[in-house]
Structure 1
Amino acid sequence: MKRILLALLCFTPLLNAQAQFPYVRFGLEGQAGFTSNDQVPFWMRSNQFGSVPLSGPSASLIGSARVDYDTSKTKLVDWGASLQVRGNAGKGSNLTLIEGYGKLRVGIFQLQGGRIKEVMGLSDTLLTSGNYAISGNALGIPKIQISIPEYYPIPFLGRFVAFKGNFAHGWVGKTPVQYGDTNMTTTQFHQKSLYVRLGKPTARLKLYGGFNHQVFFGDEKYVWSEKGFNKNRFQLSSWETYEHVIFGKVWNSSKVGNHIGSIDVGFEYDFKNVRLLAYRQTFYEVGGLAHLSNISDGLHGISLTNKKTSTKKIKWEKLLFEFLYTKNQGGEAWSKITPSGDEDYYNNYLYTTGWSYRNVGLGMPFISSRQNIRRGLPTYPKDYFVNNRVIAFHVGIAGSAGAFKVLSRLSYSRNYGTFGTSPIGHTTGKLHTDPIYGIFPITNQFSGMVDISRELSKGLTLGGVAALDAGKLLYNSVGFQLRLAKTF
């Protein structure tokens, strides 16, 4: 507890800097809560960028400092930074850097480095159940990136075409592997994205499309060594390895690293009183999408934003409806046979903990790791994500009731385990692996939360959260939390 208080007290001297830098903002938040059954309910821990309370009775302090770009005038060059630290105390204690980065803007370009709270993909970022590639479910991977963070309309095309994107390199750290002449690699992270918008900024109709691509890689020479992989020792140079990673080139019948991403499409239409956003994310990992074998899988969303000014005491601001389907994966009995077999989302034959960072899934939280589900459900031993075949319905709502702000997420899912625990078994080409570890039963799950807050005075907000898990996938639990936040 002393460590937590000491770290948060470090923010106090920074308050004096606010007079010199008007775009400096500070925040201090205290939380107290309780969760039952030694669990943190689903919507109290999911998509929180790693800022999660301890189970049981606990207290938390969150300190933050942020320097934003100067928006009062147009600058060719500007800079910013952000720092957020969370300390938890309860059955145990921990101190976590939730965010810490610096950024430099030159025209439309931005250079940024550190741990960043961000998501990747086309969706309603406020209420979504989670993007496929990067949902904000885990802590951000430390990285350095160059980006065009906002859609830039191309002048010579009449501002009808706009684009944004990023190119990043990150450091995951030591990662357990289950193959080759080592049990641990120093893993690096590659990320890039490109999204295009068709339609002028003032147009009612806008079309969106784009992709994102992420890779875990590193220490291949230790994995494919003479001892660990005697068919063909890894001999690519560092640049050749990076080239294979960036372009997804094949080496020895497989890609270098663990590749994952989504191809996204959507449209936005401005009605008189409502803005409509509709989108779909299509997933790719080991190659099934190239054969359209998993094309039926995807995240589908419809978001409605209320544009109408109202004096009513109760009003809605945003509604979201999402449907998630990940059950096919190109592994069904009727699916087209592909060399890579079923996609087995988020699992990887090399990386023991799959698509995770510090043992927490980087993508959509509906795909469950073995540490989050009930004991006793059948699991395939090599799978870290033991439930990736999911059908889920998700509703989100944001609004107000008088002086209170209200936000709610309600989700219902049917869960089918993995193909390794299905009657079909895992597939690789025409090869089927029998499900000798049991058949995962169809398992229903409901998770919901309500967040209510009210501004007591300028910069001072009181809020509370109630959350519930009920079903057969997760342990049943309830959680309550009160918070008091002050911004300076």
Structure 2
Amino acid sequence: MKKFWSILLIMCSPFAISAQQRSLTDSVQYRVEMQATLSSGDHAPLWLNANKYGLSSLKTTNGYVRGAIERKLSADDGRKWGIGYGADVAVATGFTSTLVVQQAYVEGRWLKGTLTVGAKEYPMELKNQALSSGSQTLGINARPVPQVRLALPEYWTIPGTNNWLALKGHIAYGKTTDDGWQKDFVAPQNRYTEGTLYHSKAGYLKIGPGNFTAELGLEMACQFGGTSHLFENGVEKVYDNDGGLKAFKNAFIPGGTDATDGNFKNAEGNQLGSWVARFSYDQPTWNLAVYADQFFEDNSMMFHVNKSGDKYFWYDFKDWLLGAELKLKDNAWLNNIVVEYLYTKYQAGPVYHDKTSHVGYQISGRDNYYNHHLYTGWQHWGQVMGNPLYVSPLYNADGHIEVEHNRFVAWHLGFSGSPIQQLNYRVLASWQKSYGSYYYLPVNPMENVSCMAEADYMLKDGWSIKGAVAADFGKLRGDNFGFHLSIVKTGLIK
């Protein structure tokens, strides 16, 4: 009898293992975190606040308790399909809201394609997550936007190319969640929006299977729909923007026109994007990469040419984020170095002129990066959704939801290492000189230096402790000094 049960157990074990593998409650990870930030000055220093997916604050004293569970799609690796989900909630003090639902999503995978519904933190593409100053279009500086996202998240090799060509990308539509914050933050008779819809898309092509690879891509985004509240000569004007199927099409393929355009037509919504590229050379002990991110707000800087009548206007290639990254594979003390240069002063030039009956040519300049005449610009909950060196609206003491400093020159340095197995560190330092914007001109250019040193020590049983000290110096963000401390516990729910 004992032998019978042993044989039966052996026969049934593959089905038991299969059933266990297909359980949606296996491989669920948890994370609990407590963080506190203390600062002196007008604000928390830049690098204690920036590039944290908006789960941060400019208040000099702030903190949160955070809990999250996640089942990654990788739990179903080896099968044609996969299921993932996550929930990430924080209770905060000194933030734009006390209860923060940072992430809440479900997603499915079939072969290489994924469909995600909800709010999820997505990493930057073609840049170092920890050391870069940030992407100019699809950054990691603001809270995630709830969306429906269809993606090819990992490179898929195109058949018949002998592994020389591979593609990845995504298409997403969503809706912003900061209506209440806008009403609380904005000063009387300053514009705000409600129910703004969101669209993003990106495609990347990878060339080369060997030591040298090239990655080329296009990232685009749009804010559209919703209701805009504008004030003209003290009188409020409300515009109900189109949110129908035609508006979704115009967000995907820029077209249409806004309610406030009048005789001077522009593409519907706040359209923006970046051309991105990364070139890497890999060796056994090191890897060197150079990359570029060229931002644009309209056709003039997207294609660098504008045709008006029988005239062509050519635009310079001045505005760039240019970077280099060196990985030292055998050097634990210093294993990664990133250097970046940003120039955003040009913005298609200082002249804008619409075509009229008297002047038959249109000159498209003064692009006013991250701002828009109808929407509150490329921001969510007061934080820019791109690179945080563009000064976020949260810094504005006058209650304007606007990026007032978008014309600047900056240098950024980041490096990291792991002196011992349990210890990781990173250092960030940025210098920036701002010229305001074409519509906001400070009396003199405003400079700023921001730096941070951070260390993360892994303890036993999934515990870790992280500490950082940071400072700002200069007129742009003020003289600020602060530190933060976080304690984290991670593990697997059995």
Q: TM-score, normalised by structure 1?
A: 0.81
Aligned with 1:208 (options 197, 201, 215): 215
For the structure 1 residues 32 and 209, does the alpha-carbon distance in structure 2 shift closer, same or farther, using more than 3 Å as the test?
Answer: same
Tell me, in whole angstroms, the C-alpha distance in 2 between the residues paired with 1:222 and 1:41: 32
For the structure 1 residues 20 and 331, does the alpha-carbon distance in structure 2 shift closer, same or farther, using more than 3 Å as the test?
Answer: closer
Q: Which residue does the alignment assign to 1:10?
A: none
Tell me, in whole angstroms, the C-alpha distance in 1 between the residues paired with 2:95 and 2:74: 43
Tell me, in whole angstroms, the C-alpha distance in 2 between the residues paired with 1:92 and 1:219: 22
Tell me, in whole angstroms, the C-alpha distance in 2 between the residues paired with 1:417 and 1:404: 40
For the structure 1 residues 409 and 114, does the alpha-carbon distance in structure 2 shift closer, same or farther, using more than 3 Å as the test?
Answer: same
Q: 1:272, CA displacement in angstroms? A: 2.6
The answer to whether the 8 A contact 1:56-1:91 is kept is no
The answer on 1:146 being equivalent to 2:169 is no
Aligned with 2:119 (options 115, 125, 134): 115
The runs of 5 or more residues in structure 2 that have no matched partner are 1-22, 258-263, 306-313, 354-360
Q: Which residue does the alignment assign to 1:254?
A: 266
Aligned with 1:349 (options 373, 379, 396): 373
Aligned with 1:318 (options 324, 331, 336): 336
Q: 1:32, CA displacement in angstroms? A: 2.9
What does the per-residue CA deviation read over 1:297-339, in whole Å, with 9 as the maximum and x for residues that have no partner? 011111111222x5xxx6112110000110111224799x963
SS at match of 1:44: helix
Aligned with 1:478 (options 457, 476, 481): 481
Paired residue type of 1:149:
P
- Within a 5 Å distance, the mapping from 1:2-401 to structure 2 comes to 21-53=25-57, 55-71=59-75, 73-89=77-93, 94-173=98-177, 174=179, 184-200=193-209, 203-219=210-226, 238-251=244-257, 253-289=265-301, 290=303, 291=305, 293=315, 295-308=317-330, 315-332=333-350, 339-351=363-375, 353-372=376-395, 384-401=402-419
Q: 1:36, CA displacement in angstroms? A: 1.2
The answer to whether the 8 A contact 2:379-2:392 is kept is no
Aligned with 1:411 (options 426, 430, 434): 430
The answer to whether the 8 A contact 1:288-1:294 is kept is no
The answer on 1:446 being equivalent to 2:449 is yes
Paired residue type of 1:198:
I
The answer to whether the 8 A contact 2:393-2:400 is kept is no
Q: 1:242, CA displacement in angstroms? A: 2.4
What does the per-residue CA deviation read over 1:126-154, in whole Å, with 9 as the maximum and x for residues that have no partner? 31101011211110111011000011111
SS at match of 1:157: coil
Q: 1:94, CA displacement in angstroms? A: 1.3
Tell me, in whole angstroms, the C-alpha distance in 2 between the residues paired with 1:350 and 1:91: 27
The answer to whether the 8 A contact 1:160-1:198 is kept is yes
For the structure 1 residues 358 and 90, does the alpha-carbon distance in structure 2 shift closer, same or farther, using more than 3 Å as the test?
Answer: closer
Q: Which residue does the alignment assign to 1:421?
A: 440
Paired residue type of 2:384:
G
The answer to whether the 8 A contact 1:411-1:448 is kept is yes
For the structure 1 residues 159 and 447, does the alpha-carbon distance in structure 2 shift closer, same or farther, using more than 3 Å as the test?
Answer: same
What does the per-residue CA deviation read over 1:406-426, in whole Å, with 9 as the maximum and x for residues that have no partner? 11111111111001234xxxx
SS at match of 2:429: strand
What do you get for the CA RMSD once the two structures are aligned? 3.2
The answer to whether the 8 A contact 2:206-2:214 is kept is yes
Paired residue type of 1:452:
A
Tell me, in whole angstroms, the C-alpha distance in 2 between the residues paired with 1:22 and 1:234: 46
Tell me, in whole angstroms, the C-alpha distance in 2 between the residues paired with 1:407 and 1:264: 25
What does the per-residue CA deviation read over 1:151-175, in whole Å, with 9 as the maximum and x for residues that have no partner? 1111321121000010111012547
Which structure has more relative contact order (CA 8 Å, sep 6+)? It is: 2
For the structure 1 residues 22 and 398, does the alpha-carbon distance in structure 2 shift closer, same or farther, using more than 3 Å as the test?
Answer: farther
Q: Which residue does the alignment assign to 1:433?
A: none
The answer to whether the 8 A contact 1:288-1:338 is kept is no
Paired residue type of 2:415:
I
Which stretch has the larger CA shift, 277-286 or 103-112?
A: 277-286
Aligned length: 432
Tell me, in whole angstroms, the C-alpha distance in 2 between the residues paired with 1:166 and 1:122: 15
SS at match of 2:47: helix
SS at match of 1:279: strand
The answer to whether the 8 A contact 1:23-1:70 is kept is no
SS at match of 2:245: helix
SS at match of 1:155: coil
For the structure 1 residues 338 and 406, does the alpha-carbon distance in structure 2 shift closer, same or farther, using more than 3 Å as the test?
Answer: farther
The answer to whether the 8 A contact 1:316-1:400 is kept is yes
For the structure 1 residues 294 and 188, does the alpha-carbon distance in structure 2 shift closer, same or farther, using more than 3 Å as the test?
Answer: farther
The answer to whether the 8 A contact 2:152-2:168 is kept is yes
What does the per-residue CA deviation read over 1:389-421, in whole Å, with 9 as the maximum and x for residues that have no partner? 111100111102334211111111111100123
What does the per-residue CA deviation read over 1:35-85, in whole Å, with 9 as the maximum and x for residues that have no partner? 112521100111100111573444421111110134575110111112211
For the structure 1 residues 371 and 29, does the alpha-carbon distance in structure 2 shift closer, same or farther, using more than 3 Å as the test?
Answer: closer
Tell me, in whole angstroms, the C-alpha distance in 2 between the residues paired with 1:33 and 1:234: 40
